Structure 1
């Protein structure tokens, strides 16, 4: 399987993903998986600008991403999947994509969220998706940057 990393990050592609994670994992393609972003020309333009040179970019609706991954379209590449919220990745798993580990990065604070760490804020629907991913055998870790120690995200969620 060509999936080298999977990250939840509300900012999608930015300094940490574009520089630190892409370099650390030697990524050749970043795949943004999100139905809304895939339809938003302005957001797609910004993501293209944020993608490091030499790294390919796919911005796909969830079902198309699953179809392409399962068809082996990226088998020769080192793929980093990035999604804004856990429900997108849960749907990928439900469509048959095998994800071993998800790195929970940044989930921004809003009036509706509650704080899990200083950079991870969730609503009840996020917690339900994380619990379901965990039940399906996906390991969930919290790690902002590669130099940070990876923490068990499900333990953080219990606090």
Structure 2
């Protein structure tokens, strides 16, 4: 199985993910990992509509995603994993899925968040999870679109 990229994006699948990232990386399957979204038929329908033609879509709870990845279900595919929050990736890692890197994209602003960049807003729990991911060897980067420069996310977090 080839996990080509992992991305945090509060919007999940939208123009940047659907067009720019999938094209640039030659993605054959987008996997959205989120327990709540996986149980929401309306949100799943919207994600299906946003997925580019010729790209497969999986919308799974984190535990099922880990199970499928570890069982080799996607071994012949080029996989982009997308989630809204970093804790989903920490759970994947703790389930035994190897994650080399994680691109932190858009995390929307709410009254509870504080800004890291113009488009990345976090709560204290997110910061703790980012540190745990980094301690486990995951390289954290910030890059909105493929043509933007890659930034070291942990340096931005400080």
Q: How would you bin the TM-score normalised by the shorter chain?
A: over 0.9
Q: Map residues 9-158 of structure 1 onto 2, 5 A cutoff.
A: 9-158=9-158
Q: Runs (4+) of structure 1 moved beyond 3 Å?
A: none
Q: How much does 1:66 deviate? A: 0.2
For 2:115 and 2:152, the matched residues in 1 are separated by 16
**Normalization by structure 2: what TM-score?**
0.99
For 1:112 and 1:63, the matched residues in 2 are separated by 28
For 2:40 and 2:124, the matched residues in 1 are separated by 26
**Normalization by structure 1: what TM-score?**
0.99
What are the Cα deviations for residues 19-68 of structure 1, in whole angstroms up to 9, with x where unaligned?
00000000000000000000001000000000000000000000000000
Answering whether residue 8 of structure 2 is matched by residue 8 of structure 1, we say: yes
5+ residue gaps, structure 1: none
For 1:36 and 1:90, the matched residues in 2 are separated by 17
For 1:56 and 1:71, the matched residues in 2 are separated by 18
- Note the aligned Cα RMSD (angstroms): 0.4
- Three-state SS of the structure 2 residue aligned to 1:147 is coil
Number of positions where the alignment pairs a residue of Structure 1 with one of Structure 2: 158
Q: How much does 1:94 deviate? A: 0.4
5+ residue gaps, structure 2: none
For 1:37 and 1:125, the matched residues in 2 are separated by 20
- Three-state SS of the structure 2 residue aligned to 1:57 is strand
- Three-state SS of the structure 1 residue aligned to 2:54 is coil
